[in-house]
Structure 1
Amino acid sequence: MRLRRCGDDAVLVEVDSLGEVEAVRAAVAAANLPNLVELVPAARTVLVAAGPGTVSEVRRVLAGADLTHQPEAVGDEVVIGVRYDGPDLDLVAETAGLTTAEVVDLHTGADYRVAFCGFAPGFAYLTGLPEPLRQPRLDSPRTKVPAGSVGVAGEFTAAYPRATPGGWRLIGRTDAPLFDPRRPTPALLTPGDRVRFEAVR
């Protein structure tokens, strides 16, 4: 674990895995640091922005944290309805050696956690994807992925909150309001939340 100062009132914690990212995020969140402004997890880092003395406070918190232990998910559970009719559903099934029905069963049967958000406002990277569905991105990314598309890539699954380019394998689509700047909390999914997908017609 490495700590790098970011300006006067923030520190970037660098770790080696997503599990350690979640352990750092959970430990800092539970510590109730005074003047905590923002806690931003990513794939291998956590940015902690707070008041003066942030670096020393974060060092103190992490000195007693067990980064090898995956904390229990304590965020809200969000259920997202999905129509499993994506253009890459057959490709995902063929690559996994499954039927499309088995792909749907695997995807809806797993418990997911929001590891971090990025790429676009409201785009949440979810961990917990079953091993057979962990597949590479498309060889040639699409120039426009429709809003609401649900896809898989590597160890993650996600839903696109708006139309953007993208190379994930698309297995379905959702009407869930993934991002709305008019809401008090614009993003439907935030780090630490638990997520389940539910097949709808």
Structure 2
Amino acid sequence: MTPTLRDFRPPDWTAEPAPGAVVLLLHGFGSHEHDLASLAPALGLNLPWASLRAPIELGNGGAAWFQITTPGVPDAGPVEQATDAVWAWVEDNVDPGARIVPIGFSQGGLMATQLLRTRPERVLAPVVLGGFVLGAPQPGDDALRAALPALFWGRGAQDRVIAPVAIARTTEFLPGHTSLVERVYPGLAHSINNSELDDVRGFLAAEVGAAAVVGA
């Protein structure tokens, strides 16, 4: 059974956005739906957005998209179940004509790539912050090889959380399946800094439209 995801939305949420795009914020392991909400003002988002809570409860207010077994090498089944849960939320809460702009951190970054790799026609300008890709083939991979949609992948040069095997896999996969914008930030660990936010703002302005963000 696909779980029903909880979410946090701003008061002006609308499921029928005039720009035709909705941002989904996808948090990392052990965090919660309020964590990445601060990215909306930091990025100057001028699009409807919602921040989803991952389906696995960890206690102490935290949640996860999937359990960590071998670091950097998650089992495909739980990741795909979590992907189905996100799409079920989209079907229940977003106008069918709207594109999804996923912005995910860490495990949430992997989930952003999962949305792209499962329904590439529905996803626009995914942003992966300190994340990686699943090793298992996904239904949209062939379509991605043909279309090469834009994707932003940012990570810290001092990130010791994401396993090297996951970084290597992602480095191999993304250039052949996306028009990759990759940024590595010197001195940054498993986090997000102002330089990365500036780069994401510029990426969204270029790929979604200048009206998508303020101050790009």
Higher-strand-fraction structure: 1
TM over 0.5: same fold?
A: no
Task: Name the larger-Rg structure.
Answer: 1
More helix as a share of residues: 2
Bin the TM-score by the shorter chain: under 0.3
Instruction: State the structure with bigger RCO (CA 8 A, min sep 6), 1 or 2.
Output: 1
TM-score scaled to structure 2, two decimals? 0.25
Q: Structure 1 length as normaliser, TM-score?
A: 0.26
